[in-house]
Amino acid sequence: MRIPLFFLLILAAFSAKADPLADQQQLRQYYKKLFPSLKLADYAQGVYALDPIAKQSWLAINEFPPYEPALEQGKILFNTPFKNGRGYKDCFENQGIAIAQLYPLWDKEKGEVLTLAKAVNDCRLKNDESELNYEKGEIAAVLAYMTFTSREKEIAVKIPVDDVRALAAYQQGKAYYYQRRGQLNFSCATCHIENAGKRLRAEVLSPLLGHTSSWPTYRLKWGEMGTLHRRFIGCHQQIRAETPIAQSVELRNLEYFLTFMANGVPVTAPSTRK
C-alpha cells in the first residue's frame, strides 16, 4: 500500500533529525501533483492562484491598492530620524533597502530567530525609542515600505545546518505547523496542506507555499494593514486555540519554517487580501 505524501510529511515533522531542504523538496513535489498548472512564482498570489473568480475582484481592487496610504506613511516613518539623530537605515545592511527577502534571519549571537518586525523594534530600543505594536499601526507601515523595496526579489532565507540551535528552531516551527490544537483540533497543515484548494464554507483554502511573501497586508476584513503575526493570532482564534503573543519564540520559529519553505517565491508585499 502506497503511503500518501501528506502523511509522510506529518511523520517528517516529528522526526528527530531536521533536514530543511528535504522538507522543502517533499512539500513542492506534493503541491506539484496537487496543482500541476501552478509555477512556483504563482504561489505568491495565495488563494487567488486557485480561485479565478476571486482573482478578478482582487485584481480590480489592486488597480487602486488600499495599502498605498500605509506605504507612503511607512516611507516617511522609515526616513524620519530618531530623537538621537540616527534612524532605521543605521540598523540594517544596505540601509534597510531591498533586504526583506532575507528575513527571518538566524541570529547566531543571541541564538534565536530574528524576524524583520523584531529587527525593527530592536532598532528602536537600541536608539532609546519605544517599541511599536507588533500587530498593526506604525510597524505595519514601516514593514510595508521595507518589503516594497524588495518587491519581486525571491525569498532567500538561510538555515545554517552547522548550527544545531538553528536546526532546532526550524524543527520547532515545523512541528508547530503540524500540531493539532484548539477546540476544533485543527493544525495549520489541516487547512493549508491536507485540504489546500478545497472549500471551507465559502472560502477556498490556500496552500502553504508563499504564505509569508505578501505580508504586511491590507485585509478587507480588517479594513486596515496588519502583520503576519496578527494573522497567525487570528488563525488561532478561529480554531479556538490558546494563542501565543506576536513575535513570541513559537511564532518566530513558525515564520522561519514557513518562509524557508517559500524560498524562490517572489516578495509581493505589501498586498491586499480578503
The CATH number of whichever domain residue 129 belongs to comes to 1.10.760.10
The mean pLDDT value for 34-55 works out to: 95
- In this predicted model, what pLDDT tens digit does every residue of 84-94 receive, in sequence order? 999 999 999 99
- In this predicted model, what pLDDT tens digit does every residue of 163-187 receive, in sequence order? 999 999 999 999 999 999 999 999 9
**Dist CA 62 CA 26 (whole Å):** 33
Number of structural domains the chain divides into: 2
Same domain, residue pair 95 and 215: no
The pTM (predicted TM-score) of the whole model is: 0.91
Tell me the residue range of the domain where 60 lies: 5-64+161-265
pLDDT at 14 over 70: no
Same domain, residue pair 202 and 97: no
Confidence at residue 201, expressed as pLDDT on a 0 to 100 scale: 81
Same domain, residue pair 133 and 173: no
Same domain, residue pair 59 and 75: no
* Residue 132, C-beta contacts closer than 8 angstroms, at least 6 positions apart: 120, 121, 124, 138, 139, 142
Average pLDDT, the chain: 93
Given CA atoms 33, 38, 39, 44 in this order, what sign does their dihedral have?
Answer: negative
The mean pLDDT value for 147-161 works out to: 97
Same domain, residue pair 118 and 73: yes
- Band of pLDDT at residue 7, cut at 50, 70 and 90: very low
pLDDT at 10 over 60: no
Same domain, residue pair 165 and 51: yes
Closest listed residue to residue 139, CA positions, set 78, 221, 220: 78
The mean pLDDT value for 232-252 works out to: 95
Catalytic residue among 91, 123, 191, 235: 235
235 is catalytic: yes
- In this predicted model, what pLDDT tens digit does every residue of 197-207 receive, in sequence order? 998 888 899 99
Closest listed residue to residue 231, CA positions, set 119, 143, 148: 143
Q: Is residue 154 part of a domain?
A: no
Give the residue from 97, 118, 148 where a domain finishes: 148
Same domain, residue pair 51 and 81: no
Pairing state between β 224-226 and 217-219: antiparallel
